[in-house]
Structure 1
Amino acid sequence: MKKLFLYLIFLLTAISFSKLQAQQHIQTIGWNVVAKIPPAPMQSQSIGLAGAITGIHQHLLFIAGGTNFPDKMPWEGGKKKYYNDIFIYRKMARGLALRPYQAKLPFNLAYAAVCSIPAGIVIAGGENETGLSPKAFIMQWENGKITFNSLPDLPEGLTNAALTLVGDILYLAGGETTGGATDQFLTLDLKNTAAGWKRLINLPQPVSHTVLLTAGTKIFVIGGRKGNSGDTSTIYKNVWMFDVKDPVWKAKTSLPVPLSAACGVGAQQELLVFSGDEGKTFHQVERLIGEINREKDEERKAKLNQSKAVIQAAHPGFSRKVLKYDIARNVWTVIPGTMPYGTVTTKAVWFENEIIIAGGEIKAGVRTPKILSGKIKTTK
């Protein structure tokens, strides 16, 4: 009797699993370039932006701020330039159309933590030529014009952090202060902003350049990196989950490979992560920088600098993979096909039924002006 009972349980489990498999869809994404970011003032052609603010409000796409190297690459002595331009796009039957509207951010800004919410686009921290910013504000489109509403300052200047929303609460994870990557996890209640940012339980590890995604009340911190003084940076493959109903960090299945500066979106009960830096070239350059800093002989130092420039100029580009995380099964898979190009230090957003990834860095120091659209395709 016991054997029969166990057999029936096994049979029912097998049938249920078969049904689950039959119901599952293999997702692919069809990619197209749907627009380009215009040239900056005084530039004849666009060379793109990295670290730009990307968000959605009132059925419009906003791209603002960002950086590039307009004259020379950084290893040739080029200086990073920061911007405050705002570009607004509306969706067309095919592609995106740039609205003829000129506006500026209150100041030059890049690498801010950004989150689109019903009230507008929240922008927190970031950096510019004067240093790290503690400022936070909401950019809104109201009555045909852009307005800015201040939020409480962050506890200190912070760049390369990540931001998301659950209910009426903003959650900000990690980032870099003047002391390096931080493990802070902050909240701001949008119904009581006067209370300011509050610190929750620390992240399991200091991290910047992470992907922060939500599914219901669950918040996921995916990959990222931490600079290490005198050594190469740690690039994480760890994935951590925080449920606002059960406020502790729980380790989930790690990424297939370490990734930093990727971007992603939530898609029902799945999370999608696009591109990212696996760190091979990044670590090579860091090792050479360490050797250069320790070298006393000027001739040897010049040769090391030349080697570093060769490696940076020959950068192979970033990962073109799309990774999918099944929340219920706690499993990562690689979606068939690849992106047209890998791009980092940018943000992915849902624009109605399309995934939009605007600009970003495609090789060391090199930006792209292209705006990618991804449409999810499903097959049984």
Structure 2
Amino acid sequence: MQMIKRMLVLMLCLLAMKAGAQHTAGEVFFNWKEIAPLPGADGLAGSYAGVSNGALIVAGGANFPGNTRPWAGGIKTWYDTIWVLENESSEWKAAGKLPRPMGYGVSLTTPNGLLCIGGGNAEGNYMDVFLLKYVNGKIETENLPALPEPLANACGVLLNGRVYVTGGQTSPTGGTTRHCRVLGPGGGQWQPLPDLPGPGRMLAMAGAMDGKVYIFGGVDLQQGQRKYLQDAWVYQPGGAWKQVANLPYPLAAAPTPAYEAGQSHLLLFGGDDGVNAVKAGDLKDAHPGFSNKVLAYNTLTDAWSVTGSMPSNMLPDAALNPHASTYAPVTTPLVVWNNNVVLPGGEARPAVRSKKVLVAAPRQPEGRFGGLDWTVIGAYFLLVIAISVTVSRKMGNSTSDFFLGGQKIPWWAAGLSIFGSKLSALTFIAIPAKAYATDWVYILNNLMIIVVAPIVTMFYLPYFRKLKLTSVYEYLQIRFNTRVKLLGSLTFVLFQLSRLGVVIYLPALVLSTVTGTNIFACILLTTVVTTAYSVLGGIEAVVWTEVMQVFVLLGGALVSFFFMAANTDGGLSGMMNEAWQQDKLRVANLGWSISEPVLWVVVVGAFLTNLVTYTSDQVVVQRYLTTSTEKEARRSIYTNALMVIPATFIFFGVGTALWFFYRRHPGSLNPHGRVDDVFPWFISQQLPAGLSGLVIAGLFAATMSTISSSMNSIATVVTTDFYKTFRKQATDLQSLRFAKIVTVFLGIIGCGIAMYLVYLQNASIWDQYLKIIGLFGGCLAGMFAAGIFFPRINGRGIFAGFILSSIGLYFVQQSSAISFFLYPLFAVVGCVVMGYIFSWVLPEKPGAQQVIQMNDE
């Protein structure tokens, strides 16, 4: 009771801190500032800029000296000085010279230094390609393979070690080109790529994300006149150019490459929209400057939005004192330095160069999560704790009650609990995120339980029930020997520890996303509360809590789905039509590849993944062992299988609805967000106050139940298979006390793994979870399959088969040539085949193993 009181005090303190805050997300996604201005009196545009050894480099460029405009006789002058800024608080210093005065080339920051491609000056354009490295206070220049033709005002991007360059001009007075080139990481020569469709272009913007190259807008020269372009294109290496959504308006000369925000956004800062291009000569010093809008392109929804603005302030004395005003610059590279966006110099207005160095620090906005939402969460957690306390009062003081609930759980509750243990944050967050980002190809991974359930009830369940097991791995000792049991138990513990980190990480990600709270604090809070809950509750409290959570979570998902459909132009029918046209409802990829999720790979992998889960995972098996009879256990398994069908369609539907909603409302999405953030972000931003709190509270409560289930199952295995094996004289009370100590220790380990996952920054956490199942669970399921279906396989053989198949699976995992869906296939088949072979090579004495005969219960 003392622990319960402490937990209640902790949550009440949390409510007291947060209840008064009502966060409203705005369009402030960057915090802007200025650092040391560029040297000289006139600023620079068209410079090369990037980073080497942690220092910011700005080289070359051009201006009009003395601030003399061309209409007043000013002459454009080019420079070759290389300037370096070692940190934000230092001063610029000259560190070297370019091969000649030049500018308006492509600038790319590489791991080896600043890559400068092409460029030109008043005399002509150049084919030069060179690398600038800042070493010991000086610039070192390394020449690289030259371009096939002179080029200036082109755009380029670095992708997977390869350099892509597109468009530009071959001479200062020539037309624009559509040529595209690539330079591999190993050097060699520039190789041609398919020409960019549409007109030739210069001053376009490039970007890279998710293995693809993007080209946006630019300017085409037609008979000496500029035509501003609005089209956008994507290229996947090895494929062809494809057109994507047009820019909201024609645009050119924005700082490039585009900024990669989050996992699905490319951002363009400002640029010349051409509105004042025709009358620029008439406006002269009255020119207002260029666009200060920040455009965001979502690569998943193929939609543009205005997602903020750059600092811009034109003062009355701008003509006489141009550097006092602040403008959104064009014709300058975008540099990422110390995780911030840096725009050094650039063209402020026609014939006016900027000295300012603007720095934008990405800012994660907080969700709209207010006092009512926190109140709902607090009330909901109190209800969950009340259920846990009520059930725990009836729980006996024995390991049987703690691990199996006295085998008095009704079949329907056990079935819902099996379903609820899998309906965690992994389901609630990762599956909608996967459907939002891709399609429905992964849906078979869940639906194959329909095929697996009859196999489990017909072949596996009778053994587990007849042997009156507490830990499912006790079967391996009865069938084979103690060594095999300990190996299986250890594998389960390792697998569950990996899973434990995932299911702690995801709800912490939710809370961090919707409230702005530090994710590490969220992980710590979740772990502390859940560990206390797990120690007190026992399996019976876990089961009844999960029963309640199933309905809350499914209800929350349905509410979110219909809310999105109702609040998006086109409604449900429009969503289905558009999703169908864009292949978002695709359920199968045809083909015979073993490296891609084609139909046969998903079917085989999904079947074996479910077989792994429902035959060798203590979390699931333990639940259908809590019922009083084999008949009720069978009903619980089918109850779970039938619940999976509608739930799977609901959560995949939520993912598609999210894609449709944010395709229509692209400005409502956080550009810095991860893909796995998308559903939590929607909940916090779009659902009405109170309802969002209810959905998040339900998610957290179910997630904590899932975590406590893992902790309880691991504690069951460690106590039953290890502690009781090596301490045969231990009393049941000592075993119970040991199980609770193990649970606390598991909380500490799970917390550490979850914090490590924060640094991985995976695009899809579901992919990582499926890989974990394939690596840890497949060989384990192979041992159970060998024991039940192959009576000739003995303990020595299956032990050797498990070790060798695990080693083989490790090397399979290292190769990207094989889809992770097939890991269980290699694991199960490898374990059985190798076990059979080594049973023949290493026979055991008669009576060394048992082949268990089953009779009807």
TM-score relative to the length of structure 1: 0.81
Residue 224 of structure 1, CA deviation: 0.7
- Tell me the amino acid that sits aligned with residue 349 of structure 1: V
Shift of 1:102: 3.2
Pick one of 250, 258, 270 that aligns with 2:242: 250
- The correspondence of residues 116-135 of structure 1 with structure 2, limited to 5 A, is 116-135=109-128
Q: 2:97 aligns with which of 92, 101, 104?
A: 104
Cross-structure match for 1:81: 77
- Tell me by how many angstroms 1:26 deviates: 5.8
Q: CA deviation at 1:52?
A: 0.6
Counterpart of 1:376 in structure 2 is 362
Partner residue of 1:67 out of 62, 66, 70: 62
Opposite residue 36 of structure 2, the aligned amino acid is A
Q: Give the counterpart letter for 1:80 in structure 2.
A: K
- Whether the aligned pair in 2 keeps the contact of 1:164 and 1:214 (CA below 8 Å) is yes
Give the secondary structure class of the aligned counterpart of 2:276: helix
Residue in structure 2 matched with residue 38 of structure 1 by the alignment = 39
Tell me, yes or no, if structure 1 residue 365 matches structure 2 residue 351.
yes
What amino acid sits opposite 1:29 in the alignment?
A: F
1:58 aligned to 2:53? yes
CA drift of 1:96 comes to 3.9
- Residue 328 of structure 1 aligns with an amino acid whose one-letter code is L
Structure 1 runs of 4+ with >4 Å offset: 24-27
Q: Does 1:272 align with 2:272?
A: no
**Distance across 1 between alignment mates of 2:127 and 2:89:** 33
Partner of 2:285: 313
C-alpha separation between the residues in 2 aligned to 1:186 and 1:216?
20
Deviation at 1:356, TM superposition (A): 0.3
Which structure is higher in helix share? 2
- Per mean C-alpha deviation after superposition, the further-off stretch among 198-207 and 355-364 is 198-207
Post-superposition offset of 1:339: 2.7
- Is the aligned partner of 1:330 residue 2:302? yes
Instruction: Determine the structure 2 residue equivalent to 1:167.
Output: 160
Q: CA shift at 1:100, angstroms?
A: 4.1
More off after superposition, 143-152 vs 82-91: 143-152
Distance 1:168 1:375 in 2: 26
Q: Secondary structure at the match of 2:203?
A: coil
Distance 2:308 2:62 in 1: 32
Aligned to 1:147: 140
Offset of 1:168 from its aligned partner?
2.4
Q: In the alignment, is residue 218 of structure 1 matched against residue 212 of structure 2?
A: yes
Alpha-carbon distance in structure 1 between the residues aligned to 2:348 and 2:136: 36
Counterpart residue type for residue 38 of structure 2:
I
- 2:37 and 2:53 map into 1 onto residues whose CA distance is 21
1:350 aligns with 2:336: yes
Structure 2 residue aligned with 1:241, among 212, 234, 259? Answer: 234
Once the two structures are superposed, the pairs formed by residues 3-42 of structure 1 within 5 Å of their partners are 28-39=29-40
**1:19 equivalent in structure 2:** none
Cα deviation digits, residues 264-311 of structure 1 (max 9, x gap): 3112321110111111221235xxxxxxxxxxxxxxxxxxxxxx3x42
| Contact residue 84 and residue 109 of structure 1 kept, 8 A | yes
- SS of structure 2 residue aligned to 1:282: coil
Give the whole-Å Cα distance in 1 for the aligned partners of 2:305 and 2:311. 15
Q: Percent identity?
A: 32
1:180 to 2:149 alignment:
no
Contact 1:35 1:372 in 2 (8 A): no
Taking the aligned partners of 1:68 and 1:338, their CA distance within structure 2 comes to 23
**Size of the alignment, in residue pairs?**
322
Q: How far does the alpha carbon of each residue in 1:193-219 deviate from its partner, in whole angstroms, 9 at most, with x for none?
A: 23x111110011311101111113111
What displacement does 1:101 show? 4.7
Bigger proportion of residues as strand: 1
> Are residues 1:200 and 2:201 paired?
no
Query: Per-residue deviation at 1:27?
Result: 5.4
Counterpart secondary structure, 2:278: helix
2: CA distance, partners of 1:339 / 1:129 = 32
Name the CA shift for 1:254/1:211 in 2 (closer, same or farther; >3 Å): same
Give the secondary-structure state (helix, strand or coil) at the position aligned to 2:308. coil
Asked if the contact 2:62–2:78 (Cα under 8 Å) also holds between the matched residues in 1, the reply is yes
2:158 and 2:359 map into 1 onto residues whose CA distance is 23
What is the letter of the counterpart of residue 30 of structure 2? Answer: I
Structure 1 pair 38/243, CA: closer, same or farther in 2 (3 Å)?
Answer: same
Provide the C-alpha distance between the structure 2 equivalents of 1:159 and 1:324, rounded to a whole number of angstroms: 26
Q: 1:204 to 1:147 in 2, by over 3 A?
A: same
CA distance in 2, matches of 1:27, 1:168: 33
Answer yes or no: is the 8 Å Cα contact 2:31–2:363 preserved in 1: yes
Secondary structure of 2:252's counterpart equals coil
Q: 2:253 aligns with which of 245, 258, 261?
A: 261
SS at structure 2 position matched to 1:313: helix
Deviations 1:86-140 (A, max 9, x none): 111122xxx4422545321121111011111111111111012321111111111
Aligned AA (2:287): H
Report the CA distance between 1:182 and its aligned residue.
0.3
Q: Please, what TM-score do these two structures have when normalized by structure 2?
A: 0.37
What is the SS of the residue equivalent to 2:259?
strand
Change (3 A) 1:47 1:203: same
Look up the match of 1:6.
none
Deviations 1:120-172 (A, max 9, x none): 11111101232111111111123442111111221221100112111221111
Contact 1:166 1:216 survives alignment (8 Å): no
Q: Structure 1 151/128 Cα, relative in aligned 2: closer, same or farther at 3 Å?
A: same
Distance in 1 between the 2:145 and 2:248 partners? 38
Confirm or deny: 8 A CA contact 1:28 1:337 kept in the other structure: no
How far apart, in 2, do the equivalents of 1:84 and 1:172 lie?
23
Distance 2:115 2:278 in 1: 33
Q: Which among 222, 227, 252 is matched to residue 228 of structure 1?
A: 222
Structure 1: distance between partners of 2:192 and 2:309? 41
**Structure 2, gaps ≥5 residues long:** 1-24, 313-326, 368-857
What letter corresponds to residue 214 of structure 2 in structure 1? F
- 2:65 aligned counterpart, secondary structure: coil
Residues 69/154 of structure 1: CA separation in 2 closer, same or farther (3 Å cut): same
Contact kept, 8 Å, 2:217 with 2:252, in 1: the verdict is yes
Query: Deviation per CA, 1:323-362, whole angstroms, max 9, x where unpaired?
Result: 1111111111111344332210001111122110000001
The aligned residue for residue 151 of structure 2 is 158
Root-mean-square deviation (CA), in Å? Answer: 1.9
Measured after TM superposition, the shift of residue 25 of structure 1 is 9.1
Structure 1, unaligned runs of 5 or more: 1-23, 40-45, 286-307
Q: Which amino acid is the alignment partner of residue 242 of structure 1? A: Y
Among candidates 339, 345, 354, match of residue 311 of structure 2: 339
Q: Distance in 2 between matches of 1:257 and 1:186?
A: 27
